[in-house]
Structure 1
Amino acid sequence: MGRRAGSAVMPLHGGRVPAWLGQRMTKLGAVITEAIILEYGRDEFLRRLAHPFWFQSFGAVMGMDWHSSGITTSVLGALKRGLAPLSAELGIHVCGGRGKHSRATPGELVAVGERVGLDGADLARTSRLVAKVDSAALQDGYDLYLHGFVVADDGRWVVVQQGMNADRRQARRYHWHSEGLESFVDAPHAAIEGHATGVIVNLAHRRAAASRDRQLDLLATIGPDGITKVIMEASDRERPDPVPDSQALLPHLIMPEHNDVRSENVVERRLHGALAAAAERGPKDFAELLLVRGIGARTVRALAMVAEVVHGAPCRFSDPARFSLAHGGKDRHPFPVPTKVYDQTIGVMKSAVMKAKLGETEQLAAIRRLDEQARRLETSATGPSLAAHILEERARSHEYGGRSVFGWEPSAQTDLCNVPRTRS
């Protein structure tokens, strides 16, 4: 069966992912997935997807807006595109998506079942039931508009779905995991991410078992009209104080409204640890790589953050904004996407994964050592403030191939007053 694993609440953002970023997200998302499965197996990759903090960090390291609702759509879309050609090799299948793609999920699951020998009809039923729990049994003010279903060849799965509250301009993400789920209606969630929006009706909780049974009795004895009358009478009475919900113990991520990355959004000792590890391990572990034209210390710094996404423990992802410092953001927060660095990161990760598949694990091990060294150094390392670090990145953005939805970043010598700023 399955359970909810956690949740997230984010500002509701519109817009789209430009093709130049979407293509890179597809490549980086796929190669990070390959690295995790090589190192830890498919089950661990599914556990990561079911953790809201890791999921947000995963999207941030890929250059998506670090705090917005768009991370959910873009990450699932990137994985669906990037893992499709690898599905037979990895045994991972990504179904569903946003809007019409969400409604196509059951059919996609039936097709997966036919290919790999799973009960596709049962998976489709699970997909519909999970969606119903978060849209009908849990009435929290968010209307579902996205449903992603990731299933492995052995039948284990993760569901990531998202609802919106248009009045509050917020989105809420729900994470489900098949591991450990005993019932779809007794506290099934692995995580829910989102702000409270007033009184929440949660019939998907074990405390609501008596209520569910009573509702069936009422339907059989007094019918729909009688139920409507009871509801009208009850609405005039004073509501009791809410009972504490055990679901609050699940991982619950709340993202701020502001676009810029601020010091309170980042654990700076972790940032300093990653920067120090890149400076110390880079020349030792990537000596040959650093001789390649264009690949230098900046790429190794990005690799240090990618390494943490691959190897970090759950507690390391309490500050997803930090991972946006690897490849920036499409809206120039914290800085424009350094496309040259991004491409080099993809190249290094692809090389490491390909060699590991052939039994040559040294390069993948070097990336792991970056993460290990960062954790060792974060208790003692010092470095520039977050503001200073971002200022330097913006100053060198043109050098790194900086790009955003507003276009390419101009050089420092360009008269900025004459540079048009239109979204692209």
Structure 2
Amino acid sequence: MEIIGISDLPLHYGKVPNWLIPIMRRLSRAILDVMILEWGPDKILEKLSNPLWFQGFNNVIGMDWDSSGSTTVTLGILKEVVNPKDDGLAITGGKGKSSLNVPKELESLPSRFDLNVKRLARISKLIAKVDTTLLQDGHELYHHSLLVSESGRWIVIQQGMNPQTRFARRYHWKSVNDPVNQEREALAGVKSKAVLNVHASVNAKRTIMDLLRENPQKLERDYLRSMAILKGQSLESWMGTGTIGAISSEAKLVYMRPVDVKRIVKVIYEVQQGSPSDLEDALLLGVGPSTMRALSLISDLIYREPPSYEDPVNAPYDPFKYAYAIGGKDGIPFPVNREIAFEVIQTLEDFVTIAKLEKKDKALALNKLRDLRLGVKEGA
């Protein structure tokens, strides 16, 4: 249970109105205070790792229910209001070049965080490689955040963009030891007809690792032979040998994108100089999407070990109902109601203030709040 989900969202251009940003900050902080009091940092990470819960939180603080900006804005707001020293929770990385700051930001966290910074930095980079290289679904990553608790638990939330379909896709990861080989579960979004999903095929990954140990010049010949088979320009393709007959037209398109085979040969040679022991090493040493696509085709048509063409999205979900909390920035389902927003904020802040008075005995504080609410109802 390692990747909790993927969500597809239509691209929305524009920005959050200036007047709404302070409301989002204050409401996010108020909700966060309640969650820390009730659950603690580890449970908060568990909730945020679920794309459906994350979308609900995004909607509650005033973002549109279906906007791609929900990822960048929501994580940006959370990063602003989270205080690692006090909360035992930290958000690193972000949009664009900010995503590269994960290692540096991890190193600057308070000593109370029980972290293996070097390993977490490696995991962060590897997960980005997995979702661009082992899974090629037409979305280019442009946002990557690693969230970590003081106990060392972590999640990754990242987003990719597909300019052709005008959709963005959000990827959620939960603490795992081996991102290259652990399976995905409960993925939510819009399913594509075919993607290159090497991640889902154990045999294809094993064959590709074997290919990476081959003479790069031989791989160049095998790739050209595979393309000839794929295009129906060889005797093998006419005889229907291998898996070519089972590949759908959509899956064939995955392989038809241009590949500079000479450059791939150079990449493979450079990777070999690093003596990768496994696919994780190979990815971090430089194997990228084009190289993986070429190796997958060879594995498929020459060595009869195809990758999966199945899009891992498998659980469509409509989180629209959460948008009715205070409204959305673009007026969907209705404009943000400032009066309701501030009423919610004040209620949550009052709850936290009262509860913190009894921090040593949280149960007693909650009982007092419950009695207070009952007294108000009886006197009404």
Q: Fold-level match, TM-score > 0.5?
A: yes
**SS of the residue 2:43 aligns to:** helix
Q: CA deviation at 1:146?
A: 0.7
Match for residue 189 of structure 1? 184
Q: CA deviation at 1:109?
A: 2.0
Bigger CA radius of gyration: 2
Q: CA deviation at 1:191?
A: 4.9
Change (3 A) 1:199 1:366: farther
Match for residue 200 of structure 1? 195
Q: CA deviation at 1:194?
A: 3.5
168, 171, 174: which one pairs with 1:177?
A: 174
Contact 1:176 1:191 in 2 (8 A): no
What is the alpha-carbon distance in structure 2 between the residues aligned to residue 31 and residue 60 of structure 1? 15
Match for residue 375 of structure 1? none
Contact 1:50 1:191 in 2 (8 A): no
337, 361, 367: which one pairs with 2:366?
A: 361
**SS of the residue 1:43 aligns to:** helix
Q: CA deviation at 1:117?
A: 4.4
Normalised to the residue count of structure 2, the TM-score between the two structures is 0.71
**SS of the residue 2:82 aligns to:** helix
The reply on whether 1:221 has 2:214 as its aligned counterpart is yes
CA deviations over 1:349-407 (Å, ceiling 9, x no partner): 111112111123357658999xxxxxxxxxxxxxxxxxxxxxxxxxxxxxxxxxxxxxx
Contact 1:9 1:173 in 2 (8 A): yes
Change (3 A) 1:363 1:344: farther
**SS of the residue 1:168 aligns to:** coil
Once the two structures are overlaid, the 10-residue window that deviates more, 151-160 or 24-33, is: 24-33
Q: Which residue identity lines up with residue 196 of structure 2 in the other structure? A: V
Change (3 A) 1:107 1:193: farther
What is the alpha-carbon distance in structure 2 between the residues aligned to residue 121 and residue 102 of structure 1? 16
What is the alpha-carbon distance in structure 2 between the residues aligned to residue 131 and residue 367 of structure 1? 49
The reply on whether 1:125 has 2:125 as its aligned counterpart is no
CA deviations over 1:238-296 (Å, ceiling 9, x no partner): 443687969555xx345xxxxxxxxxxxxxxxxxxxxxxxxxxxxxxxxxxxxxxxxxx
Relative contact order, higher structure (CA 8 A, sep 6+): 2
152, 155, 165: which one pairs with 1:155?
A: 152
Which segments of 5 or more consecutive residues in structure 1 lack a partner in the other structure?
255-318, 370-424
What is the alpha-carbon distance in structure 2 between the residues aligned to residue 10 and residue 95 of structure 1? 23
Q: CA deviation at 1:225?
A: 1.7
128, 131, 134: which one pairs with 1:134?
A: 131
Q: CA deviation at 1:228?
A: 2.8
**SS of the residue 1:337 aligns to:** coil
CA deviations over 1:119-176 (Å, ceiling 9, x no partner): 2121111110111111111101111111111100111011111111110000111111
Contact 1:174 1:191 in 2 (8 A): no
Q: CA deviation at 1:36?
A: 1.8
Change (3 A) 1:330 1:121: same
**SS of the residue 2:15 aligns to:** coil
CA deviations over 1:304-348 (Å, ceiling 9, x no partner): xxxxxxxxxxxxxxx522221121111111111111221221111
Change (3 A) 1:60 1:363: farther
Match for residue 332 of structure 2? 333
Q: Which residue identity lines up with residue 235 of structure 1 in the other structure? A: L
Identity of aligned residues (%): 37
Q: How does 1:263-412 map to 2 (within 5 A)?
A: 319-359=318-358, 360-361=365-366, 365=370
Q: Which residue identity lines up with residue 198 of structure 2 in the other structure? A: L
Q: CA deviation at 1:95?
A: 0.9
The reply on whether 1:109 has 2:109 as its aligned counterpart is no
What is the alpha-carbon distance in structure 2 between the residues aligned to residue 34 and residue 59 of structure 1? 16
**SS of the residue 1:327 aligns to:** coil
What is the alpha-carbon distance in structure 1 between the residues aligned to residue 331 and residue 198 of structure 2? 42
What is the alpha-carbon distance in structure 2 between the residues aligned to residue 209 and residue 71 of structure 1? 34
Q: How does 1:58-97 map to 2 (within 5 A)?
A: 58-84=57-83, 87-97=84-94
Q: Which residue identity lines up with residue 183 of structure 1 in the other structure? A: D
**SS of the residue 1:19 aligns to:** coil
What is the alpha-carbon distance in structure 2 between the residues aligned to residue 52 and residue 368 of structure 1? 33
Which segments of 5 or more consecutive residues in structure 2 lack a partner in the other structure?
232-243, 252-307, 359-364, 375-380
Contact 1:112 1:120 in 2 (8 A): no
What is the alpha-carbon distance in structure 1 between the residues aligned to residue 369 and residue 26 of structure 2? 17
Contact 1:92 1:151 in 2 (8 A): yes
Contact 1:3 1:183 in 2 (8 A): no
**SS of the residue 1:329 aligns to:** coil
Change (3 A) 1:366 1:125: farther
What is the alpha-carbon distance in structure 1 between the residues aligned to residue 220 and residue 111 of structure 2? 45
**SS of the residue 1:77 aligns to:** helix
**SS of the residue 2:194 aligns to:** coil
Contact 2:49 2:174 in 1 (8 A): yes
Normalised to the residue count of structure 1, the TM-score between the two structures is 0.64
The reply on whether 1:212 has 2:219 as its aligned counterpart is no
What is the alpha-carbon distance in structure 1 between the residues aligned to residue 184 and residue 373 of structure 2? 32
Contact 1:106 1:128 in 2 (8 A): no
What is the alpha-carbon distance in structure 1 between the residues aligned to residue 19 and residue 64 of structure 2? 15
What is the alpha-carbon distance in structure 1 between the residues aligned to residue 344 and residue 351 of structure 2? 11
Once the two structures are overlaid, the 10-residue window that deviates more, 2-11 or 214-223, is: 214-223
What is the alpha-carbon distance in structure 2 between the residues aligned to residue 132 and residue 364 of structure 1? 48
Q: Which residue identity lines up with residue 30 of structure 1 in the other structure? A: R
